[in-house]
Amino acid sequence: MNIIVVGLSHKTAPVEIRERVAFAPTAMEEPLQQLLGLSAIAEGIIVSTCNRVEFYATSRDPDAAISQLKRFMASYHQLTPEELETHLYDYQGEEAIRHVFRVSASLDSMVIGEPQILGQIKTAYGYATEFKTVGLILNRFLHKAFSVAKRVRTETNIAGNAVSVSFAAVELARKIFGQLEGKTVMLIGAGEMCELAARHFVNNGISQVLVTNRTFARAEKLANEFTGLPIPFEDYIEQLYRADIVLASTGAPNFILDRPQVEGIIKRRKHKPMFFIDIAVPRDIDPKVNDVDNVYLYDVDDLQGVVQANLKERQKESRKAEAIIDQEIGTFHSWLATLEVKPTIVSLRQKFEQIRRGEVEKSLKNLKDLDAKQLKSIESLTSAIINKILHQPISALKQTNNSEEGGNDNYVDAVRTLFNLEPPRAEDELIDLDDGDA
């Protein structure tokens, strides 16, 4: 049985294409059932996010499965195959396993290390489980992908270090103050960037949020979102001494804070540290403010520098993650191989045993006077011949199954073709599979 991946992502398709092939998360039953209705598909999952749409499936005929999945994606969304073809990728076997492990571990994400994709795949798996479109292989495969993602996060720092401007501000604040509990942040401006940064600060322990804006109603609205306090714009200089962290983004044409003003504020605070974050362009705060003792000023370029440095660190950690995935691919591929090899050995033995019994029974009809000892000798002789004949092919199958390089598919296919063996039954595929892995 082969694992198949067909899909597109932010790397291969613009948003105009991705939004046209997206599947509504609240209406997954119909497409999942249609997916399972494809003749070459045994099991299936649909992963649909803003950055990717992918099918994970199993099939005994991977080429046919890939073709059917591509046509299904196009027809379901009323597109022609030609409209999608250049944007689609497909993988099978080990490459499909690698792709799903990398996606789950966020190595294929727009921002390496972002945690959302794992939750999105778990949700997709939940729908497939609910609507019964997964079985033995995809159940095991997805649980393995989840454990690989967890291992990557545990054994690497791929999710560490801020990679957004707003969260970089939080990270720097922690370095300055040690901890954010009991600290106060003032937002000068109430735009989207201020709001996002404030949300990060609140989520990381800030105790109070002060908000000032030229439009007081906007300051009130944003302050209410954080159970904070609105400050009239004409009074914010007077109130700045209360803030440990000041986030400025007003869009003013000139500086709204200069060095003499900040010197007075820091003196009023008895020289307790202040952290100023100026994300406005043009800047809101005079750069000379950074020369005041116990004052730390970062502008948007400084924060971008932190983000780029952190992205480089994540890239370094991603190399460790790739090594983990290489190791886990081998583990899973070995388990997957047992689904074919062990049932094939069972089928092969059953086939030869059936032939042996048939021939023995036919011969015994002409041998009427044999005693029990002679009958036992005939049974032993014919069984020994069968065991001798089967020894080499079964040994070869076992060796390829235990090989770290895998590659047993050709042997299995050859044996099944040469001896006309039936495809393994579901109960055969469950033989001795438990290796203790979730």
Active site residues: 50
How many residues are listed for the chain in this entry?
438
Can you tell me the distance from the alpha carbon of 74 to that of 83, in angstroms, rounded to the nearest whole number?
A: 8
Can you tell me the distance from the alpha carbon of 326 to that of 320, in angstroms, rounded to the nearest whole number?
A: 10
Query: Residue 380: which residues within 8 A CB-CB, separation 6 or more?
Result: none
3-state secondary structure the chain: CEEEEEEEECCCCCHHHHHHCCCCCCCCHHHHHHHHCCCCCCEEEEEECCCEEEEEEEECCHHHHHHHHHHHHHHHCCCCHHHHHCCCEEEECHHHHHHHHHHHCCCCCCCCCCCHHHHHHHHHHHHHHHCCCCCHHHHHHHHHHHHHHHHHHHHCCCCCCCCCHHHHHHHHHHHHHCCCCCCEEEEECCCHHHHHHHHHHHHCCCCEEEEEECCHHHHHHHHHHCCCEEEEHHHHHHHHHHCCEEEECCCCCCCCECHHHHHHHHHHCCCCCEEEEECCCCCCECHHHHHCCCEEEEEHHHHHHHHHHHHHHHHHHHHHHHHHHHHHHHHHHHHHHHHHHHHHHHHHHHHHHHHHHHHHHHHHCCCCCCCHHHHHHHHHHHHHHHHHHHHHHHHHHHHHHHCCCCCCHHHHHHHHHHCCCCCCCCCHHHCCCCCCCC
Query: Residue 240: which residues within 8 A CB-CB, separation 6 or more?
Result: 186, 246, 265
Can you tell me the distance from the alpha carbon of 233 to that of 240, in angstroms, rounded to the nearest whole number?
A: 11
Kindly report the backbone phi and psi dihedral angles of residue 269, in degrees, each rounded to the nearest multiple of 5, phi listed first: -85, 5
Long-range contacts, 395-398 (Cβ 8 Å, 24+): 397/341, 397/344, 397/345, 398/341, 398/345
